[in-house]
Structure 1
Amino acid sequence: MTPPRARRPQVPMEQRRAELTEVALRVMAREGAWALTTRALAKEADVPHGSVHYAFSSKAEIVRSVITADTDSAVQIFGGVDVDGASPGETLGRAFTAYLDRLIADPQTELVLQELTLMAVRDPELAALMAESSIGYGASLGKLLATLAEQTGRTWDAPLPVIVEQLLGLLFGTTQAWLLHRDDERLRCALADAARLYGARLEQVAE
């Protein structure tokens, strides 16, 4: 006879959701983003299947939590960059370095997010979730760029949303390439040069 499962101590819902989000990311990192199911999550977390549904109403809500955690991390990175006493290029370099440090320390999370992005092309519900993430990334980066313009008393040589879109494409594309070649120095050199070039686009245009 199988012994009864020991009763788990009650934990606050937010803590439970955070714990399950970490486990969901672990499942996707190991088996691929497409492998996540509520049952797989329950098995990995060693909790009853009903506990997962109590914390999250659907698989989409679990994925949303994973994406939100990543977006919040990016907001902290771009929002935490020290802009005092540095040129625009140096400031962008600091932001890119912080982004790269996180990437290199935890490449599996980025791999999951890249997989989710590709899956979103054929999944309207997932596409909406990824669009929310893109808005969050863009808002935090746009705020940093606006601060640089204000501090230098200059303007960007293109509308701010255009600069943001270009930089996000640069970051995500370069990141995807790194996931294949894993050459850290090549990655850092590429984004350091990009920071210098984009910083000059602000420095060269007076109001």
Structure 2
Amino acid sequence: MARVPAEERRLQFVEAAARVIAQDGLASATTRRIASEADAPLAALHYCFRSKDELLEEVYNFLSRDYAKALDPVADPGLGLRHMVGAHARRIWSRMLENPHEQVTTFELLLRRFRVEADDQPQALLMNRSMYDGWVSSTLELFRGAAEAAGEPVPANLEDITRLFISGIDGISMQHLADPDEERSKRLVELMARSLSGALDYA
């Protein structure tokens, strides 16, 4: 059997953990279950990660800090900020439809702080904050870069627009997962992007 490089194996375990959490819930995501989902020995998981908490931290990173790496490239990225807001919303939504378990896992992880003991809640809150910081910083950088590349001024309220963008994606995702309707969700994504583009403050 060919040896799997350590970084590739780590990613396999992270992706498997995301699927297991979505399918069975966080409480059922044991290291044994995750190793089985990854079709890898349990010993390999413990070699890659010192603990389940370390593995969960990487799942948080995979779904926030590293999420943009999995998205399709934006066509015509030099067309300015308004174009980028719509294009980014559409490519995120395409990814959500292809991999809905990632969004389910995200919600499970964000709710974790309400399901742990009181002593563990500060760490869980820190993880949630880290996840949102990853989304906000990467999206803000993308939007600011689109404006600057097109020679546009950077709106004064760009961070607030970015946070509303992320909240909108989360909300539409929640509604879609609860009551799937692709046409309705597509309309909502487009409306959200247009509304946020119209709210950019250049004063």
Task: Give the TM-score normalised by structure 1.
Answer: 0.81
Which of 186, 196, 199 is residue 198 of structure 1 equivalent to? 196
Alpha-carbon contact 2:74-2:87 (below 8 Å) kept: no
Aligned to 1:37: 30
State the alpha-carbon separation in 2 of the partners of residues 170 and 121 from structure 1: 23
Aligned to 1:4: none
1:145 corresponds to 2:143: yes
State the alpha-carbon separation in 2 of the partners of residues 156 and 36 from structure 1: 43
RMSD (Å), alpha carbons: 2.5
AA aligned to 2:99 is D
Aligned length in residues = 196
AA aligned to 1:113 is T
The change in CA–CA distance for 1:76 and 1:140 in structure 2 (over 3 A counts) is farther
Which of 61, 64, 72 is residue 57 of structure 2 equivalent to? 64
AA aligned to 2:153 is R
Q: Secondary structure at 2:155's aligned position in 1?
A: coil
The change in CA–CA distance for 1:21 and 1:193 in structure 2 (over 3 A counts) is same
Alpha-carbon contact 1:81-1:91 (below 8 Å) kept: no
145-154 vs 75-84, which moves further: 75-84
State the alpha-carbon separation in 1 of the partners of residues 83 and 185 from structure 2: 17
Cα displacement (A) at 1:46: 4.8
State the alpha-carbon separation in 2 of the partners of residues 43 and 127 from structure 1: 29
Aligned to 2:17: 24
Deviations 1:101-145 (A, max 9, x none): 000011112111111111234443333223222111111111122
Aligned to 1:154: 153
Following superposition of structure 1 onto structure 2, how do residues 118-129 of structure 1 map, counting pairs within 5 Å?
118-122=111-115, 123-129=121-127
Percent identical residues? 27
Which blocks of at least 5 consecutive residues in structure 1 are unaligned?
1-7
Aligned to 2:67: 73
AA aligned to 1:196 is R
The change in CA–CA distance for 1:125 and 1:36 in structure 2 (over 3 A counts) is farther
Aligned to 1:113: 106
Task: Give the TM-score normalised by structure 2.
Answer: 0.82
